[in-house]
Amino acid sequence: MWTIGKELTSKILDAGFSVNHGKTRMQFRGSRQTVTGLTVNAKVNIRSDFYRTARAMAHSTFTTGQYKRNGVVIHGLGPIEGMLTHIYYVKQRWQDLQIKARMNEAEEKDWTKQKYENPSAALTLFSRFLFYKHFIRIDAPLIICEGKTDSIYLRSALRNLPEFQPKLATIDHGRASFHVRFFKYGSQAKGVLRLGGGTGDLKRLLAAYPGIASKFQHAPMAHPVIVLIDNDDGAKSIFSIIKDKFHVTADFKTDLPFYHLSHNLFLVKTPSMNTDGESCIEDLFSQELLQTKLDGKIFNPSDHINPASEYGKAVFAERIVSANAATIDFSKFSSLLSRIVNVLDYHESMKAKV
């Protein structure tokens, strides 16, 4: 017979729990100790058999588009995504948080660089799955904007421009159903796919895309992936990478509707304006709207604002554009949205030829 000691019992009670004596068991140091499916001997970890099963399911998905779980053939990505997310957060994410807590900013930056240059098996597997899910096996055309505000502009424009309905959106009793998807920036996108917004991350995606996409044997690519950028100084690095990587020439004054780069990957930039050709998506709004004052502050679309007298893109998108979309003139957005339609039509023609 053995019993839990008073000190351990006290700790458990202090944490707000109680001991279920019917479910307690003795585990020796040398044996595999498991709690809620995790091994907890020296550190919290995933059971090796669970990891091998998930890895085999992922391989089957990437090669055939389906996998077996408990002998049942599954086509959907939900179950395997749950398993791979669990593995990533236990094996990689927990380690990331512990390391960051001990580092200063300079050390963390260097460690992050090393992390992606020499990724762990868990990070490699999960990033490959997310790439497959977001870019290869998609159920609608995907638009990747430079940031979150651009998608707010485009959704508002689609709701209020009937000429793009139902090609890009359907309005039913005032409720919009979009036939295109907008890439969602979040912790997984940033921490795993290294997509946090901005041209630097998009440049990295464009450079890596053909190499990663070509490794999937099951690659339906039924819909296009459209990278949408401003035609301004920030785009110079994009123009450079597509010339070096894809032999595609673009600059401020070239004004093709779109640029097909590789596989189902396309680049669309805002229409050229003025004598130098530069433009950004905010140029598609009227000057009157851009000059709207809010709480005594003026709009500054740059990344550097004076919070005492200016407000930025996030506030403009939510409190000016989204809040007043029904009364805003979105007619200038037609030129940009037409480019997206051109991509959809071109991609459909490619599929028809195949």
Q: What is residue 41's predicted lDDT score, i.e. its pLDDT?
A: 64
Most distant CA pair in the chain, distance: 88
Q: What is residue 24's predicted lDDT score, i.e. its pLDDT?
A: 80
Alpha carbons within 13 A on the beta-carbon side of 170: 3
**Mean pLDDT split into 10-residue runs, the chain, 354 residues:** 86 92 78 70 78 95 95 94 92 78 79 85 95 97 95 96 92 90 94 92 96 96 97 94 96 94 97 91 96 95 92 96 95 96 95 81
Q: What is residue 353's predicted lDDT score, i.e. its pLDDT?
A: 80
Amino acid at 149: T
Q: Which of 185, 188, 205 is nearest to 196 (CA)?
A: 185
DSSP string, 239-296: HHHHHHHH-----SS---S-EEEETTEEEEEPPPBTTTB-B-GGGGS-HHHHT--BTT
**What's the predicted TM-score (pTM) here?**
0.87
Q: What is residue 182's predicted lDDT score, i.e. its pLDDT?
A: 97
Q: Are 147 and 197 in contact (CB under 8 A)?
A: yes
Amino acid at 179: H
Q: Which residues in the chain are classed under CATH 3.40.50?
A: 138-286+329-353
- Strand 142-144 and strand 225-229: the pairing is parallel
Q: What is residue 37's predicted lDDT score, i.e. its pLDDT?
A: 66
Q: What is residue 274's predicted lDDT score, i.e. its pLDDT?
A: 83
Q: What is residue 105's predicted lDDT score, i.e. its pLDDT?
A: 76
Specify the CATH class of 138-286+329-353 in words: alpha beta
Written as six digits, the tokens of 301 are 């679309």
Q: Residue 51: CB partners within 8 Å, gap ≥ 6? A: 87
Q: What is residue 42's predicted lDDT score, i.e. its pLDDT?
A: 66
